[in-house]
Amino acid sequence: MDLQLQIKMNAKLFLRDPEQSVLGRSIIEKSIYLINKMGFEDFTFKKLAVEAGTTEASIYRYFENKHRLLTYIIVWFWTWLEYQLVYHTNNVTNPKEKIRIIVQLVTFHLKDEFTFKHIDKYQLYQIAVTEGSKSYLTKHVRQDNKDQLFKPYKDLCGRIAAVFEEYNPKYKYPRSLSSTLLEMAHYQFFFKEHLPSLTDFGNDADDKGVILFLEQLIYSSLNAK
Amino acid sequence: MDLQLQIKMNAKLFLRDPEQSVLGRSIIEKSIYLINKMGFEDFTFKKLAVEAGTTEASIYRYFENKHRLLTYIIVWFWTWLEYQLVYHTNNVTNPKEKIRIIVQLVTFHLKDEFTFKHIDKYQLYQIAVTEGSKSYLTKHVRQDNKDQLFKPYKDLCGRIAAVFEEYNPKYKYPRSLSSTLLEMAHYQFFFKEHLPSLTDFGNDADDKGVILFLEQLIYSSLNAK
DNA sequence: TTAGTAAAGATAGTAATACTACCAAAAAAG
DNA sequence: CTTTTTTGGTAGTATTACTATCTTTACTAA
């Protein structure tokens, strides 16, 4: 099965909707490739224009600046994560099973039925790990938040928090535990790869250790009296 | 009591040691002021030169580029945190009391006896919260790590992990729990201020909720069987 | 069929940024 | 005291981050 899904994005994220044209989709595709390859700091609209076979001016017709483009792709990723969460927990009643699925999802270990011609989800995941927090760690975070740019992240966080509350209605920090899970899924993975002594998984070939740590963190916190 | 302390920095962090000259110390002082005021993205060496009453070229004699300067002040902060940790837990034997001190320290709620003429520690703490992770979330993190730039962060993480192990020698993830604490102390604080629905402390006037959450997270994880 | 309109491309230009090369003054060392 | 080293100042370049304008292409609707 090859399901098609169109992710609807907040119109404030772009000047012209990149989903609606060949050039727009190419801009997204090549951004993901380039940001992942060279890092957000070295990524420029000039390089993107060359890669996409167009000009800087044309890219500026879609996105105000490179930070908005980063926010666009990161928000796309969060929105996709929320879709996946809903899709995979739809018929699941046991909150313990839901939590298992959530951890698999945020560590990118869940099989995904959806495909997007112009979006390489694994590359996008890697960008989310390394560059994701840069989308909100800015001085304009409050204005961006007012413009609802981070709604998909907050919705995802809220949905995971609701599962935590379902598991233990008396637990006092469902949202903070949820944002901790979301951030740490990325950070522990980054640390494991690049700064291994900040983790206990330095020599591991796979991500099982990270997953076990996250599960231990969640369950011990939710089960504590 | 007004204790003096000279923090020794890895020589790879600078081209010329800023601690050794009036201009150097002014560069550090004004960087902290400007990065905190305008955010790292809008901070430039030109603006810093104007603020410090010098020229761009003079600043380039001290630091290769603005990212290195950010790394310098963030690493300084980590080093200071480790000094504080050692200083405040020196005569403490009870690991539970040590953990209480650690949480107070990483949330910046511990009284500090040391002063530095040119470093405003509260401003530096705010930079650590918002810009800290940008020092290592780069494509050159591996080379920087080889150059030992992040040693103070790893040492701090290791020291906290050692306390966790002291509290429970059988606990399997002391380092990951330590890096989780260090990151989340900053992130929960940032979220509380700017994206409150990612936390459970949106309406709180103080940081008590964040502190209780972090303690609950640590103790439930360390106490779980 | 053709006139209208919107998207995309081409070209050029500006201000700021990131950095380098080189020069001058002061301090320290022999 | 002269020489060398340190330190700061001046001036430049390439790149980046945009903006403006004009032409071409493409689709759209009378």
List average pLDDT for each run of 10 residues in chain B, which is 225 residues long.
71 92 92 96 95 91 95 96 94 95 96 83 97 97 96 98 97 98 98 97 92 98 91
Class of domain B73-223: mainly alpha
| Cα B117 versus chain centre, distance | 18
Q: Please give the DSSP secondary-structure letter assigned to residue A7.
A: -
- pLDDT for B1: 47
Q: Is A47 on the interface with B (CB under 8 A)?
A: no
Q: What single-letter amino acid sits at B208?
A: K
CA of A23 to C1' of C9 (A): 12
Residues 6 or more apart whose CB falls under 8 angstroms from that of A96 comprise A167
Tell me whether residues A184 and B188 touch, CB distance under 8 A: no
Structure tokens at B22: 């009036």
CA-CA distance, A25 to A33, in Å (whole number)?
13
Structure tokens at A199: 């983790």
- Exposure on the CB side of residue A146, measured as CA atoms within 13 A: 4
Q: Which of B133, B137, B221 sits opposite A217 (nearest CB)?
A: B221
CB burial string B114-126: b at 16+ within 10 A, e below = bebeebebebbbb
Please, which contacts does B142-149 make with residues 24 or more away whose CB atoms are closer than 8 Å? B142/A194, B144/B71, B145/A194, B145/A195, B147/B10, B147/B12, B148/B10, B148/B12, B149/B10, B149/B12, B149/B13, B149/B71, B149/B75
Q: What single-letter amino acid sits at A130?
A: T
pLDDT along chain A (225 residues), means of 10: 73 94 94 97 96 94 96 97 94 96 96 85 97 98 97 98 97 98 98 97 92 98 91
Bridge partners, B114 (sequence order): B3
A15-55 tens-digit pLDDT: 999 999 999 999 999 999 999 999 999 999 999 999 999 99
Q: Which of B136, B157, B224 sits opposite A220 (nearest CB)?
A: B224
Bridge partners, A43 (sequence order): none
CA-CA distance, B168 to B177, in Å (whole number)?
13
- pLDDT for A66: 96
Q: Is B5 left (phi over 0), alpha (psi -120 to 50) or beta?
A: beta
Tell me whether residues B179 and A188 touch, CB distance under 8 A: yes
CB A5 within 8 A of CB A114: yes
Q: Is B110 on the interface with A (CB under 8 A)?
A: no
CATH topology for A68-223?
A: Tetracycline Repressor; domain 2 (1.10.357)
